[in-house]
Amino acid sequence: MTRASKRPSFVLFITDQHRADYLGCYGHPVLRTPHIDSIAARGTAFDRFYVNSPVCMPNRASLMTGRMPSVHGVRSNGIPLSRQAVTFTELLRAAGYRTALIGKSHLQNFTGNPPLAKPRVPPEGYRSPPPSLAQAVRNDLDSADYDQEQPGFWQRDDAHVETPYYGFDHVELVRGHGDTVNGDYMHWLLAREPKAADMLGPENSLPHDYICPQAHRTAIPAELYSTAYIAERAAAYLAEQAARDDDTPFFLMVSFPDPHHPFNPPGKYWDMYKPAQFPVPEAFSRNDWTPPPHVQEVIDARDRGTANLKGMRSIATTPREAQEAQALTCGMIACIDDAVGVVLGALDDSGRTDDTVVTFTTDHGDHLGDHRLLLKGAEQYQSIVRVPFIWHDPQAPRGGARSGALASTLDIPATILDRAQLTPYYGLQGRSLLPVIDGKDNGREAAFIQYDHQLAGLPPDMGLRVHSLVDARWRISVVLGRDDGELYDLAADPGEFNNLWTSQAHAGVRAELMERLARIEMAHVDRVPIPTQQA
């Protein structure tokens, strides 16, 4: 379909830790998301859309750069995105777009906690290099330029992100998760409720009978929760664009920290859904399932009582906890959906709906009881690597189209730049999805997923690393330093319970996929800097 030559504006909605099948338009049997569904009803929803890493910082950096974690450098949580990295929003801004981020960024660290990884202790008699020479590539990631999402930065009353910030010339930040968040939101909250500090966090939780780890009933009412703040500020930004009375295009990222744990939907959303409405995940009734070693280790840690139930990585769960987590997650998503409705209404009021592309995605998923797990981590199950991606272009409406083409987070910036008729920078590894949406291309042959995680007490080069390839039928995953791996036939075994890694009948498939994984690794080796001369 021919699109108008006028450069469109863009609104990109992104949620946090939100798996693909937890939307009405993706077939959830209980959850209702009419506003997000309305985007899909006018556009194209991708059913085989994958993250490039199943954790926040690496995949958000891939969204901003269109590059794999091993290339942009944010291999794991805990590494800020270098300000030397070029982002697609910088190209939009350079082309005259107004660019705005309202909500969560997480392109820089926001805990303030020291790293788990520790430098190697040199042998006796050896001299350590000076700090400026301790790493193979010089960087300034420990400078003040990378403190803007940390708690200490926001203790000042006048704190505000210095712009341009990774290509955004307007930033209103929400940093953190649940109701223990900060940033520009906290100034807004305290202006409306001066005693809000006494209502935040699990220590101020309202009474409830849930036992799920990290479930607490926030005392912050829904109208003062961060989701409401993001909706209000995004709507205000759209109103400002209308008031300018010009046709300068804009790019607005509306980024919600939910439904990431803690599980604490505010107000009416807490009991909007009941645990009994949700089935016990299949893994609890499968006597024929043998968890892979790295999954079994997570389950064993919970059984031993050594699991970190207050942390960020995957933990084992009970059936009741899983059902509670599902219900509370649906409450948080319903809250987000209402906020999306507010923003879409503001877009209509601005008079810019007919020239604004609206998209929706998430940064990764949550196990929510699948494979007896909660949260996310080294596991590469569909529950955390497959996410929604919805694209609605008013100049080329699709009327509820579905695409089974393989695509990934890398492809979002390439698609936006293509639609804005901007040539991408060298080194962008994504592919525009416009030919796929138009039915002129079948998408990727495979999706490529990388996971790294620093481990307590070990040097930075001894963390946990898992790489995966997913194609139309198979998923193969390899763990660095281990002989075992995972191979699943997603057509015959969509729940990923039958690991065929050691199956002699599938040895040929495994060998072929390993070769393809090697080739996709080669294809994503960086191609910048480009040569400056012949030699």
Which CATH number goes with the domain that contains 214?
3.40.720.10
What are phi and psi for residue 55, nearest 5 degrees?
A: -135, 165
Give the separation between CA 234 and CA 227, rounded to whole angstroms.
Answer: 11
**Among 462, 478, 465, 459, residue whose Cα is nearest residue 516:** 478
Secondary element (H or E) of residue 50: strand 44-50
Does the residue 363 lie in any domain? yes
- pLDDT-based confidence at residue 145 (cuts at 50, 70, 90): very high
Mean pLDDT, residues 143-170: 94
Q: Is there a contact between 111 and 154 (Cβ–Cβ < 8 Å)?
A: no
Does the residue 483 lie in any domain? no
Does the residue 159 lie in any domain? yes
**SS3 state of residue 509:** helix
Does the residue 327 lie in any domain? yes
Give the contacts of 144 (CB within 8 A, at least 6 positions apart).
Answer: none
- pLDDT-based confidence at residue 4 (cuts at 50, 70, 90): low
Q: Is the pLDDT of residue 57 over 80?
A: yes
β-pairing, 170-177 with 180-183?
Answer: antiparallel
For residue range 233-262, what is the model confidence (pLDDT) as tens digits? Answer: 999 999 999 999 788 999 999 999 999 999
Does the residue 376 lie in any domain? yes
For residue range 21-56, what is the model confidence (pLDDT) as tens digits? Answer: 999 999 999 999 999 999 999 999 999 999 999 999
- CB-hemisphere CA count at 13 Å for 215? 25
Q: Is the pLDDT of residue 3 over 80?
A: no
Q: Is the pLDDT of residue 355 over 80?
A: yes
Neighbours of 486 (CB within 10 A): 21
Neighbours of 358 (CB within 10 A): 26
Give the contacts of 5 (CB within 8 A, at least 6 positions apart).
Answer: 421
Give the separation between CA 203 and CA 216, rounded to whole angstroms.
Answer: 9
- pLDDT-based confidence at residue 1 (cuts at 50, 70, 90): very low
Domain membership of residue 85 as a residue range: 9-112+142-443
Name the one residue in this structure whose structure tokens are 């939780």.
Answer: 205
Residue 188, token pair as written in the block:
């807004």
For residue 313, the cross-strand partners are: 376
Q: Is the pLDDT of residue 5 over 80?
A: no
Give the separation between CA 247 and CA 331, rounded to whole angstroms.
Answer: 38
Does the residue 390 lie in any domain? yes
Q: Is the pLDDT of residue 100 over 50?
A: yes
* Structural domain count of the chain: 1
Does the residue 229 lie in any domain? yes
Residue 301, token pair as written in the block:
């840690």
- pLDDT-based confidence at residue 460 (cuts at 50, 70, 90): confident
Q: Is the pLDDT of residue 118 over 90?
A: no
Does the residue 517 lie in any domain? no
Higher per-residue confidence, 337 vs 461 = 337
Name the one residue in this structure whose structure tokens are 């495979």.
Answer: 446
For residue range 275-306, what is the model confidence (pLDDT) as tens digits? Answer: 999 999 999 999 999 999 989 999 999 999 99
Give the separation between CA 128 and CA 135, rounded to whole angstroms.
Answer: 11
